[in-house]
Structure 1
């Protein structure tokens, strides 16, 4: 299949490179000047795994305005704040038979994607895959080969031959895909994970393994899970996991899968970039308010992450 990656940062590059190495045709598109110009100058990117075996991978990236091909599907991996700009700058090469595939963090992206892609052409999901962008044209895959997993779900929750092909090609690329049939529950399961791990690790500059080793970690996880699941109950959303399973997933992921990983939110704070906390903890709070419930802990964490953003700016 022919894919084009919209948003060739850490995760976009990882998906695209793995698919390219498995035999798929992949194009890369980005709006970040340093990334586009560095990759063009190098002729590709440098890739490491857990900081080791740094090697060069050839690829080409361009700005949306310079792209003229017609892929079968777009893999969308921008930050939430930059999605609308990316879609607006790319819409000249969108066609009605193309698909959009996205595993972005947070919530708010589906409504924007639906401005250009009908629900029957949207495959969304979540990724339990850690990747660090060391700098323009230089990325680090976190975790042993084949340890990452993703969930994919059709927005219509109906299987298609196209989805089957995507699943097969993603599996061949080593992305570890699982197909679900619960659209909102699939997305919310990862939002809840990120609302805990990303925010707490980022505020205190902790690797995930350092966070879970704290004596207070499990108490914090439990409180935040309970509040988020109460919001889901009110909104009639059924996450893929129950509360106990969500707890165990967080412990396993942080302790056993990516203990050396700094979450993407920490990477944003450390590089003086705005975080996606309003689309994660802020989304849980906003959804709760819709049903008359005040998710206080998630609202408080959102404010603390914004304070951490401010502190980083002041320190520089």
Structure 2
């Protein structure tokens, strides 16, 4: 059954989800606020798509600025950065309708509260994606891994899947995202936050791929220390994560060594390109929730400070390059 989607935030992950859902036979529109991206895609007649840096080809897509969009999709797919979402929601609010669904697999935490201001609880679906994608530049995206690589989890905000949710899962399966539907909303979302709080942050700090990190003799010990703190926070907040602590350590090592060894996480890509990172919505989020329960997630706090210090260094480097 064909569905109508509109992807809001047409960067690396937005393009990948939208293009593969389009390839699976769905109608997909793309909405973005980054002028360079929108104009480049319009100029070249679509997005340039490659896989593992090879077979670059043009995929025709329709892209719009929020202010000019007049479509009526069944579902919006959100893939902005956390710090950009509030502004994008405001710019898009004129075309939201009560019958439409919102679906997102954004990194970090903070987006659910913002989306819930515009969409009813029974229309909100969120998940997490272990899908590696790189935006080389405006209108130029690289899908990392062989076709069908990666997986994802999703859950309804109400934790009660409806007919639409099952249709969405079917289309995501056709697009080879390998979705798993759960009925544990916060446990599903926080599992990815915990994963990213290890891999994204460490790989960014030391400018290395996931495989290079996992090859280090102490990688598993580092992961376990961060995971133990994160699980301590989640347990105090009443959230039951979908994996055990040991399963989460094993998942990080398996994905880093086997599934995505050559991948630089999205936080590294932001740092490398002199953009603000989402560390406050990942490690920093765990620190904030811990403090609400009088628990000090000290390792996550230290890493958050380290990333911000590295951001200052990158901004100094950018100013020197521009001088």
Taking structure 1 as the reference length, what is the TM-score of the superposition?
0.99
Aligned residue pair count? 316
Structure 1 alignment gaps of length 5 or more: none
Q: Which residue in the other structure is 2:53 paired with?
A: 51
Q: How far apart in 1 are the matches of 2:314 and 2:219?
A: 24
Structure 1 segments (4+ residues) deviating >4 Å:
none
Counterparts of 1:131-210 in structure 2, within 5 Å, are 131-210=133-212
**Rounded Cα–Cα distance in structure 2 between residues aligned with 1:22 and 1:73:** 16
Say whether 1:257 aligns with 2:264.
no
Alignment of 1:15-164 (within 5 A): 15-164=17-166
TM-score under structure 2 normalisation? 0.97
> How far 1:236 moved relative to its partner?
1.0
| Shift of residue 159, structure 1, vs aligned partner | 1.4
- SS of the equivalent of 1:83 reads helix
Task: Say which SS state the counterpart of residue 294 (structure 2) adopts.
Answer: coil
Q: Using the alignment, how far apart are the partners of 1:280 and 1:31 within structure 2?
A: 24
Counterparts of 1:125 and 1:73, CA distance in 2: 14
Question: Aligned-pair RMSD on alpha carbons?
Answer: 0.6
Deviations 1:136-157 (A, max 9, x none): 0101101111121110100000
In structure 2, stretches of 5+ residues that fail to align are: 319-323
Query: How far 1:309 sits from its partner (Å)?
Result: 1.0
CA distance in 2, matches of 1:310, 1:206: 19
Superposed CA offset, 1:186-245 (max 9, x none): 001000000000000001110110010011211110100000000111111111100010
- Post-superposition Cα deviations, 1:1-41, rounded to whole Å, max 9, x if no partner, equal 10000000000000000000110000000000110110011
Which of 5, 18, 25 is equivalent to 1:3? 5
Deviations 1:45-97 (A, max 9, x none): 11111111111111121100010011000000000000001100000000000
Which SS does the other structure have where 2:113 is aligned? Answer: helix
Shift of 1:312: 1.2
Tell me how far 1:315 sits from its aligned partner: 1.7
